[in-house]
Structure 1
Amino acid sequence: MSLPNLTYLYFIMTFLFCFSSCKNTTKSKIFVDKQYNENQIINLSDSLKPYIKYNKDLLAFTNATIVDGTGKALKQNQTLIIKNGIFKEMGNDADIKIPHNATTINLKGKTIIPGIVGMHNHLHIPRFPDVGDVAAKLYLASGVTTIQTCGAASPYNELELSKRIKDAKQVGPEIIPSAPFITGQGGNPNMIIPRDTEHLKDTMKHWLDQGVKWFKVYRNTNPDDLKTIIEVAHNNQAKVRGHLCSITFEEATKLGIDAIEHGLNSTSDFRTNKDYGQCNGGREYMDDLIIDSPEVKRLQQLMIDNKVFLTSTVSIYEASIPNRAFADKRTIKAMSPFLQDQYKERRASFDKQMNDSIRNNRLKRIMQFEYQYYKMGGLLCAGVDAGRHVLPGFGDQRNYELLIEAGFKTEEAIQIMTGNGAKALERQDVGTIQVGKRADFVILNGNLEKDATLIKNVETVFKKGIGYNPESILETIEEQFGKE
């Protein structure tokens, strides 16, 4: 389409928007999102204004260190040009010509990473089925620009929040919503427990009709139901993930599951005296299993061959270890008085059992399992699975530090948290910093390669080329997370 025609179409759509909203006294900014439709107009509501730091059509960042999310080595002294929310050019400072009308930002001493793609990022926590509004702010302020919720406790609210953020009426990451959890007899009564196959299929159809493309099965799901869930999902271009127990990793993989959560901690393949289709048996394997043994590698290779991705959630496991379960100041500041009191009670109990070597060793083994899976060629992603004092966004950042502790290099850990998540979601537009992709990225104040804790030093978060100030976002949620 020619430029004059585009200008004419823009004028007509702007006129229609203004006409339809003439009764609304709140004015909105308008910008073009070229990632999905060059002619699509999105209304950037006034509610977002207090959080916006940069909203320019053309931006140039110079002297940056870039970790691009592909797993390749980081690059220094880079220039990155953003135009209309898209990465347009990237290369050595000396090789890139900056457009004369670009707003130029010098990032000497700072690191750019892609926006984090959280792959186990709920909008609920235990006791609170909907913390979506505050969680969305925490996610974005922490550099998480896309989330897959991996099971919904308040599915309709989740869908509505996803739409509001997509329409730029509320601040937060892009939300890829889930259906409610599906479990089996003896499982959590707040989840879907199918009465029979017809009930299961009808329930799934309902959520498919709502536009949901992700289903999560939980610990007590029986193998026959899982087979049906996978068949219905795959016949409707949807996917299935599992926090497993009654079904082993091997059984789920052979049935065609797309993803498995929590790694070694939810592996029932090695339980002693486990009954088929039952969430039972001994967990001695958590302490005795040799991670690089042929039986473990055989299981992992089976998963890899069947393209099952594994989601790491190490930060929430760490929260159960007495000598490691400490909340930082910003976390306590964001938690409601109720959650603060809960944390104080846990800490008082933990302080009496600081020498819990069993859970420390189990964390190391969980890390080894995931490291081995990645090195064998498996698709490893990460997500926060918020709870206890592990908050949305903050827990994602902690995951990065723990991945480094597990032995991953900087570029590998970033790939797990960004590019791999996008790959699992089959998204070509996000997850890595590459020309032509959507400008979702994070500016960190410092050299991330030298200090993993700098993942928390978020200076600016860009989503669709718009830069958000994390401090402005966090100021609005003091003592709001988990408020009764």
Structure 2
Amino acid sequence: MNLSTKLLILMIMAAMSANPIIGQDFDDFIAVDSGLIALMNAKTIDGTGDQSKLGQTILIEGDKIIAVGPGSDITVPDRAVKIDLSGHTIIPGLIGLHNHSFYTGGRGRSAQLSFSGSRLYLGSGVTTIRTTGARAPYEELNLKDQIESGQAIGPTMYTTGPYITGEQGSQTMARLSDAGQARRLVDYWSNEGVSWFKAYTWISREELGAVIDEAHKNGKKVTAHLCSVGYREAVALGIDNLEHGLFANSEYAPSKTPDQCPPGFSGAYGDLDINSEAVQSTFKDMVDNGVSMTSTLVVYEISVAGRPPIHERVYDILAPEIASEVREIAVARRAGQGSIDPRVFAKAMQYERAFVEAGGLLAAGVDPTGYGAAPPGFGDQRNYELLLEAGFSHPEVVQIMSANGAKVLGILDEVGTIQPGKTADLVVLEGDLEEIGNLHTTKFVFKQGVGWDSHKLIESVRGIVGIR
């Protein structure tokens, strides 16, 4: 082998081993980046729950919002970059509370989406995520560091440790044998830097109590996708958040026994009385103890019989080999094969609305799992439509998907609403959101004062979502 051939081989090996994220120039994806920006003449829905406002100007300096109000009330300095957003709507950046860094789809496929998933989240308007269960905790922590240091594109991340379950669970989960193991696991991952923990379906009350207690000692919080433990039991143990609403609360199942997960329990919930003492007691316990609920309607809606077809944009963004499998499963589910009863889905929507009416704190997230028709970001956008369908108004849905998520994460002083002093995390949409009724027209996504081009971010991952 001659010298030039050896050098060529070494160069190829170096290129293959290098981190493809580090050193990238992201300027092509940035639409607006200036020290002082004025977003002018826009309609705003500010995340506080208040009604929308017309003719608003938002002044951004650095990474902060410094002024918000009618254009006639805001003095825009001459040096500001002025963007006329007549005919546009601005909402706070979305905060996804069940937004994994991995994806599952098709016939048993799964992948970490550290490249495509993080870009798709941000391009879809999701500026902050909590990962809510990790298959690769170190990859999440490393991705978080890369995003924060400008080496990768993506949302602000609140990472979680590995799924913590009991006697049953997938190969990627921590299967507990006792409460002592739970404490050791929580202590270890707390020291490694995760901010939340997620308990899973087969955890026992004793084990869940140990997870919660150890997490709180370490200044961390706990959420859960439950089954073996009911919601009121979890609240009594001190849990902070509960995932999936009605679909994961087994306490109304007649066959429920302590520390056991009754199979298929939610299938009978179509006849559940939301005004019953049992349901209202759940809500009261959660509200009284400050326990929030995360809505993940989209990951269930994709499997409900008789619903409209999955939007073509979902298949178009996925890797082709995955899209074909996802489409086949979606058609079968809509036709009633392995489907969720529409009455149960309607009841789940009613459950979430009733929880809010009872004073509960409802946030939202996508959960890009199942058979894969709710990919990162796009699934969050679909949640917007489903929460409207559940009976919430546009200002309420914006609040659920922004400010309420910030409250759960304890960062409402920083993000979640369009107010002076907050970090400039914003979503700019073409058109009137209250007339359009969906987030598909997202144009710019401001994260920490930098305006990213939504279309370019999404196009950069088209055809690879699900594999990279």
Residues 369-408 of structure 1: CA deviation (Å, up to 9, x unaligned) = 0001112111100000013211100000100001111110
2:227 to 245, 259, 271: 245
User: CA 1:198/1:120 → structure 2, altered by over 3 Å: closer, same or farther?
Assistant: same
Distance 2:231 2:272 in 1: 15
What CA deviation, in whole Å up to 9, does each residue of 1:398-457 have, x standing for no partner?
Answer: 00001111110110000000000000000021111110010000100011112212x110
Structure 1 residues 355 and 46: CA distance shift in structure 2, 3 A: closer
Structure 2 residue 394 is the aligned partner of structure 1 residue 410: yes
Q: Which residue of 2 aligns with 1:136?
A: 118
Q: Aligned in 2, Cα 1:45/1:109: closer, same or farther, shift over 3 Å?
A: farther
The aligned residue for residue 437 of structure 2 is 452
The residue that corresponds to 2:86 in the other structure is: 108
**Aligned partner of residue 125 in structure 1, secondary structure:** strand
Structure 1 gaps, min length 5: 1-43
CA deviation after TM superposition for structure 1 residue 187, in Å: 2.8
1:73 aligned partner: 51
Once the two structures are aligned, what percentage of the paired residues are identical?
A: 38
Q: Distance in 1 between matches of 2:233 and 2:330?
A: 39
1:331-376 deviations in whole A, cap 9, x for unaligned?
Answer: 21211123112123214424643997x6211111101000011121
Moved over 6 A (4+): none
Match of 2:251 in 1: 269
Structure 1 SS opposite 2:465: coil
The answer as to whether partners of 2:101 and 2:114 remain within 8 angstroms in 1 is: yes
Going from structure 1 to structure 2, the CA distance change for 1:196 and 1:422 (only over 3 Å counts) comes to same
In the alignment, residue 404 of structure 1 is paired with which amino acid? L
Quick one: which of 283, 302, 314 aligns to 1:319? Answer: 302
Q: 1:348 to 1:85 in 2, by over 3 A?
A: closer
- Name structure 2 gaps, 5 residues minimum: 1-21
Are residues 183 and 114 of structure 1, via their aligned partners in 2, closer, same or farther at CA, if it must alter by over 3 Å? same
Letter in 1 for 2:258: Y
Change beyond 3 A, Cα 1:328–1:284: closer
Give the residue type in structure 2 aligned to 1:443: V
CA distance in 2, matches of 1:168, 1:233: 30
Describe the SS at the equivalent of 1:381.
strand
CA contact (8 A) 1:381 1:416 kept: yes
- SS of the equivalent of 1:279 reads coil
Q: Are the aligned partners of 1:129 and 1:154 in contact in 2 as well (CA < 8 Å)?
A: no
Within 2, Cα distance between the matches of 1:311 and 1:300? Answer: 13
Task: Please say if residues 65 and 75 of structure 1, whose CA atoms lie closer than 8 Å, have aligned partners that are also in contact.
Answer: yes
Match of 1:483 in 2: 467
* SS of 1:296 mapped into structure 2: helix
- Residues 304 and 334 in structure 2, CA contact (< 8 A), matched pair in contact too: no
Query: CA–CA distance in 2 between the matches of 1:364 and 1:351?
Result: 15
Native 8 Å contact 1:318 1:325 kept in 2: no
Q: Which residue of 2 aligns with 1:433?
A: 418
Q: Name the residue aligned to 1:59.
A: 37
Q: Distance in 1 between matches of 2:323 and 2:463?
A: 9
Q: Which structure carries more relative contact order (alpha carbon 8 Å, separation 6+)?
A: 2
Is the contact made by 1:58 and 1:102 (CA closer than 8 Å) also made in structure 2? yes
Whether the 8 Å CA contact 2:167–2:177 is kept in 1: the answer is no
Q: Distance in 2 between matches of 1:480 and 1:171?
A: 16
Q: 1:114 to 1:340 in 2, by over 3 A?
A: same
TM-score, normalising length from structure 1? 0.88
Aligned residue for 1:94? 72
Q: How does 1:24-43 map to 2 (within 5 A)?
A: none
Taking the aligned partners of 2:426 and 2:334, their CA distance within structure 1 comes to 39
Asked if 1 retains the 8 angstrom alpha-carbon contact of 2:147 and 2:156, the reply is yes
- Code of the aligned partner of 2:368: A
Distance in 2 separating the partners of 1:254 and 1:384: 27
The whole-number CA distance in structure 1 between the counterparts of 2:338 and 2:113 is 34
Alignment of 1:443 with 2:443, yes or no, is no
Partner residue, 1:209 = 191
Partner SS state of residue 293, structure 2? strand
Partner in structure 1 of residue 181 of structure 2: 199
What does the per-residue CA deviation read over 1:200-243, in whole Å, with 9 as the maximum and x for residues that have no partner? 22221211111112000000001100110010001111000010
Q: Which residue of 2 aligns with 1:330?
A: 313
8 Å contact from structure 1 (residues 147, 176) kept in 2: yes
C-alpha distance in structure 2 between counterparts of 1:301 and 1:231, whole Å: 22
* Paired AA for residue 397 in structure 1: Q
* Alpha-carbon spacing, 1:348–1:287, altered in 2? closer, same or farther (3 Å): closer
1:293 aligns with 2:289: no
Offset of residue 129 of structure 1: 4.2
Name the counterpart of 1:468. 452
The more displaced of 325-334 and 418-427 is: 325-334
* Alignment partners' CA distance in 1, 2:428 and 2:23: 24
Structure 1 stretch 337-346 or stretch 282-291: which is displaced more?
282-291
Report the count of equivalent residues: 439
C-alpha distance in 1 between matches for 2:185 and 2:336: 45
Q: Distance in 1 between matches of 2:74 and 2:172?
A: 56
Task: Measure the CA separation in 2 of the matches of 1:223 and 1:452.
Answer: 42
Which amino acid is 1:75 matched to?
A: K
Q: Secondary structure at the match of 1:396?
A: helix
Q: Quick check: 1:338–1:482 contact (8 Å CA) kept in 2?
A: no
CA shift for structure 1 position 79? 1.1
- 2:112 partner SS: coil
RMSD: 1.8
Q: CA deviation at 1:271?
A: 0.7
CA distance in structure 2 between the partners assigned to 1:81 and 1:170 by the alignment = 27
* 1:219 alignment partner, SS class: coil
**SS of aligned partner of 1:47:** coil
For residues 241-282 of structure 1, the C-alpha deviation after alignment (integer angstroms, 9 at most, x for no partner) is: 010000000100010000100011111110112110111264
**Distance in 2 between the 1:245 and 1:196 partners?**
18
Hey, what does 1:4 align to over in structure 2?
none
Moved more, 280-289 or 259-268: 280-289
Give the whole-Å Cα distance in 2 for the aligned partners of 1:342 and 1:238. 39
Counterpart of 2:465 in structure 1: which amino acid? F
The one-letter code sitting in structure 2 at the alignment partner of 1:64 is A
Distance change >3 Å, CA 354–CA 447, structure 1 → 2: farther
1:21-49 Cα deviation digits (max 9, x unpaired):
xxxxxxxxxxxxxxxxxxxxxxx965321
SS of residue in 1 equivalent to 2:444:
strand
